Amino acid sequence: MRISVSVGLGSKDEQHFLGTYSFCLGPFMCRPVFSEAGTLTIACHLAGIARVHIAMNAIIPAPNSSNSSSLDAVALELAADFHFDVSGCSTPEELHTICGRYRDKVLLLHDAASQLAATFLSIFPKDIGLSLDQSTDATRWREFEELASKAHNRRDRRAQALRHQAGIIAFWGPAVFRHYSWHALPVDLTRRLHDLTLLVPRWEDAVRVINRQMLARHEQRVLCNNYKAHKIGEHATSSTIQDPRSPVERKDIIDALDCVRQCAHHSWDHINDAIRGAPIWQFSLTYDDYGMIVPDVGDDEILGARLTKRPRLHCHVSGQEKDLLPAVEEGEVLPISDSGQAIEDHGVLQFPGTALQHPSREVATSRSPLTDKHGLNSGETLNDVSRMETTSSASQTADESQILTSDPQVPSSFAESCTIEKVLRVRHSATIDSFSQENRHFFPTENQASYIADQRRPRHTWLQCERWASIYSEPNEKLGTGSASKENADIWYLDSDAVQHYVRAGHIFDRPVVIKQSFQDCGMYNLADYTELLSQQLASTKGDIDQGPPTGAYHSMTIEEYQHQLSRLDPTLYDAAPPALPGAANLPCLASADQPLLTRLAPFRLLPTLLRRLRNTLQSKVMTDPDTRLAFNHLSPASSFSPPQAHIRGGTWRRVLFGVQTFVIATNLDEVEWLRYVREGGDAVPEGKLRIVVLERDDVLFLPPGVRVVHASLALETTLMEGGVLWDERNISGVLDELVWGVENGVSVEGGGALLLPGVLGMLEKWLDGQGYRQSSLGASLGYKEDAWSKIKRLRELGCT
């Protein structure tokens, strides 16, 4: 079929008739609109020069006669228009302008024809004109190719983009092209997509190939801990593809094209949309209307959360591990997912202490007027456990402020035996087994068995508490609803804006805070890169290495030795670690990650200010930058346990760069419990005061200055944290109280600032004496300054000189 087309140039109101042509109808880049008279009008922007209006009068069989008469009509019509325009000319300049305008009209028609020919030549089969001899039709095909070659020789990026876009539409259809906004792609990617359409013309086959490449990228990110790859639905900040409806990345298009070129077959039905055999729904993925895999963002997604959750593989619990879980009678409650499967079926670990309740998650009663199928009372809510990377929108009984035993729906036998270690085994069985077996590698002889048991006991006891931290969150619409009030919560969850608001309002934090903040360098760190940094920059230096079992004491080894041990950890595995692989505490700050906004707020810049002043007064200039002395990295391979330590060196912050870290924090200890800690160290486990919180990537744990706590940690996955020390100039008295207590009781004060504590105290005295003292931050209280001076004097009496 061919189309009889009348072509005119100019605006819609004033057009110049050029003639009637007959050609095949192809995929135009615009939407056709029928007028009342029945004619079809199509507006196309060609070469960015002008708008061509094509009036299609009728669709008729292709005639074999020549169109020379139409061309003659075009020439005569242009001549008549030229005569009309030049008849009113009075100067040579006006005549020159009119001639140039008609020259552009002719060239525009030539350019439009060459571009159309080039576009359709890329769409037509390659051998369409080769089987013809010297017939008229063969001659016309040669003329068509010559016209198209003129456009091919042009390097106009707009013309090239138009040819490739038309080719994509011709094979895969305009709906797919518009849905994924491929008109915004750069020319090189559009060309590759066009090449892919020529090799795989059916969209149903092409989308299978593209999905396979995206799933491979997603697997590298979530299962291989490769943070250079991006999950499906996430785009790099530098990527030219940013449309949220298009999950395809540049690498996917290139890899799909290479895959098709290397495959000799043309059937793609064998491609299975799965990740290591697990269906995509277990990774919070689904299909869009055109068959492409996209993130499954449901109605229960918390506002402000990451675009996709970090899923886990389906893991089967061994019989030995199942025996660790308590037997549950009929009618008892087990944590189950929305799909009705128990946690051992999915390998999902529920963390009620870290999940915030979403206000929209109301549970409808189904089994009885009082309870639903989950065993929850009417009106209770389900916890959003995306904070711990669930495989689906898993849920669990909420109200973190209650211990398991306080819930009347949960039998006491189940609550008493369901310790944190046993729950961890369900999802991180390899990690916990590695942690439990570590002692054998250090003390293999039988005569030391009792010593091993004594040393293992406090470490395991710190992991067997049943109380999750109760949470207050702000803002609720972004983080979800917490489980406790401000006054009663163990830990606050705040975003960076809320932290700014509290600090500027003069609030002094008196409990741990988890800060949820978006970082520009999110996902840029992985174990392989950090290990390479260690080997290149710190091969012969000393560092404090947390040797792990059995004593929990810090052991000094060279970074070269530690790097050699890290080489045993395969970075392609998700969280498996060799037994006895130690964690490194207080490593130099090599990652140089973006610090949380908290560190830039004026009240928390006191300690760097004092160190800079001290550096300027010292004769020797060997002192490094104070910011590097106050910052540190902490690398924890999976299953490594950091022993309990007191937080008495001022405020600290820790940002998780990659991995998942569990913190066990003891707050609100009385004097008897603190004295016991001084005597026994980590063996002293405060009964009923251990609180558990789990940190994911980019979570920041802030332990405020002047708040004395004891904390231990267990790495559920290989984790790298960056942290630092800071003081609050509004709570100098509290900071000095902790320092005095630590020196009096022989508890070491760690960190770069502690090494220069006498000099820092001198700078603090001068600061309080007027060189930087701000009454607005300290409340203009003379007693405040006197109290600080008395505590500085006490520190010097204790030997800090």
The rounded distance, in Å, linking the Cα atoms of 508 and 434 is 41
What does the block give as tokens for 681?
A: 């160290």
Instruction: Give whichever of 176-185, 372-381, 633-642 has the largest mean pLDDT.
Output: 176-185
- Selected residue with higher pLDDT from 398 and 523: 523
What does the block give as tokens for 419?
A: 């310790």
How many CB atoms are located within 10 Å of the residue 296 CB? 18
pLDDT of 703: 92
In this prediction, residues 620-631 reach a mean pLDDT of 56
pLDDT band at residue 515 using 50, 70 and 90 as cut-offs: very high
Please enumerate in sequence order all residues whose Cβ is within 8 A of that of 655, keeping only pairs 6 or more positions apart, or say none.
Answer: 519, 593, 595, 596, 698, 699, 700, 721, 722, 723
What does the block give as tokens for 15?
A: 């057009």
Q: Which residue has the tokens 């059995």?
A: 550
For the chain, give the mean pLDDT.
66
Q: Which residue has the tokens 């500085």?
A: 792
pLDDT of 707: 87
What does the block give as tokens for 713?
A: 């940690």
Burial of 331 per CB tally in 10 Å (0-12, 13-18, 19+):
exposed
- Selected residue with higher pLDDT from 628 and 285: 285
The model's pLDDT over 117-175, given as tens digits with 9 standing for 90+, comes to 777 777 777 666 555 555 667 777 777 777 777 765 566 677 778 878 888 888 898 88
In this prediction, residues 693-703 reach a mean pLDDT of 90
pLDDT of 52: 36
* Single-letter residue type at 392: S
What does the block give as tokens for 631?
A: 């910052």
Say if residue 718's pLDDT is above 70.
yes
pLDDT of 766: 84
In this prediction, residues 396-402 reach a mean pLDDT of 35
Q: How would DSSP label each residue in 408-441?
A: TTS-HHHHHH--HHHHHHHH-HHHHHHHHHTHHH
Which stretch of 42-56, 537-551, 608-622, 693-707 has the lowest confidence by average pLDDT?
A: 42-56
Say if residue 698's pLDDT is above 60.
yes
pLDDT band at residue 683 using 50, 70 and 90 as cut-offs: confident
Q: How far is CA 361 from the centre of its chain?
A: 24
Say if residue 654's pLDDT is above 90.
yes
Which one-letter DSSP state was computed for residue 336?
B
The model's pLDDT over 463-483, given as tens digits with 9 standing for 90+, comes to 665 577 888 888 877 777 777
What does the block give as tokens for 493?
A: 């969850």
pLDDT of 341: 34
The verdict on whether omega for the bond into residue 603 sits within 30 degrees of 0, i.e. cis, is no
Q: What stretches of 65-224 show up as alpha helix (H) in DSSP? A: 68-86, 92-123, 136-152, 157-172, 174-179, 187-199, 203-222
In this prediction, residues 598-607 reach a mean pLDDT of 89
Say if residue 225's pLDDT is above 80.
no
Q: Helix, strand, coil proportions of the chain in percent (round to 5)?
A: 40, 20, 40
The rounded distance, in Å, linking the Cα atoms of 163 and 167 is 6
CB 661 within 8 A of CB 711: no
Please enumerate in sequence order all residues whose Cβ is within 8 A of that of 755, keeping only pairs 6 or more positions apart, or say none.
Answer: 629
The rounded distance, in Å, linking the Cα atoms of 682 and 664 is 12
Say if residue 681's pLDDT is above 90.
no
Say if residue 362's pLDDT is above 60.
no
pLDDT of 434: 55
How many CB atoms are located within 10 Å of the residue 441 CB? 14
Which stretch of 184-188, 413-417, 645-649 has the lowest confidence by average pLDDT?
A: 413-417
In this prediction, residues 602-630 reach a mean pLDDT of 71
pLDDT of 701: 95
pLDDT of 466: 54
The model's pLDDT over 722-755, given as tens digits with 9 standing for 90+, comes to 998 899 888 888 888 888 888 887 776 544 444 4
pLDDT band at residue 377 using 50, 70 and 90 as cut-offs: very low
Instruction: Give whichever of 89-93, 537-541, 774-778 has the largest mean pLDDT.
Output: 89-93
The verdict on whether omega for the bond into residue 32 sits within 30 degrees of 0, i.e. cis, is no
pLDDT of 699: 92
Instruction: Give whichever of 30-39, 510-519, 534-543, 553-562 has the largest mean pLDDT.
Output: 510-519
Which one-letter DSSP state was computed for residue 342?
B
Domain residue extents for the chain: 2-154, 171-295, 471-479+488-605+624-727
Say if residue 592's pLDDT is above 70.
yes
The rounded distance, in Å, linking the Cα atoms of 24 and 765 is 88
Say if residue 330's pLDDT is above 50.
no
pLDDT of 157: 76
Share of the chain above pLDDT 70, in %: 54
pLDDT of 498: 92
Say if residue 667's pLDDT is above 70.
yes
pLDDT of 125: 72
pLDDT of 653: 93
The model's pLDDT over 74-107, given as tens digits with 9 standing for 90+, comes to 777 777 788 788 777 888 888 888 888 888 887 7
* Single-letter residue type at 53: H
In this prediction, residues 360-385 reach a mean pLDDT of 33
In this prediction, residues 560-566 reach a mean pLDDT of 66
In this prediction, residues 710-714 reach a mean pLDDT of 85
In this prediction, residues 699-713 reach a mean pLDDT of 89
Q: Which residue has the tokens 């980019």?
A: 698
CB 190 within 8 A of CB 182: yes
pLDDT band at residue 270 using 50, 70 and 90 as cut-offs: low
pLDDT of 92: 83
Say if residue 317's pLDDT is above 90.
no
pLDDT band at residue 585 using 50, 70 and 90 as cut-offs: low
pLDDT band at residue 37 using 50, 70 and 90 as cut-offs: very low
pLDDT of 350: 36
pLDDT of 587: 76
CB 400 within 8 A of CB 350: no
Sign of the alpha-carbon torsion through 729, 734, 736, 739: negative
pLDDT band at residue 700 using 50, 70 and 90 as cut-offs: very high
The rounded distance, in Å, linking the Cα atoms of 202 and 183 is 20
The rounded distance, in Å, linking the Cα atoms of 147 and 156 is 16
Say if residue 372's pLDDT is above 50.
no
- At the second CATH level, the architecture of 471-479+488-605+624-727 is Sandwich (2.60)
The model's pLDDT over 301-315, given as tens digits with 9 standing for 90+, comes to 333 333 333 333 333
- Selected residue with higher pLDDT from 207 and 462: 207
The rounded distance, in Å, linking the Cα atoms of 370 and 350 is 24
Instruction: Give whichever of 24-38, 425-439, 561-575, 717-731 has the largest mean pLDDT.
Output: 717-731
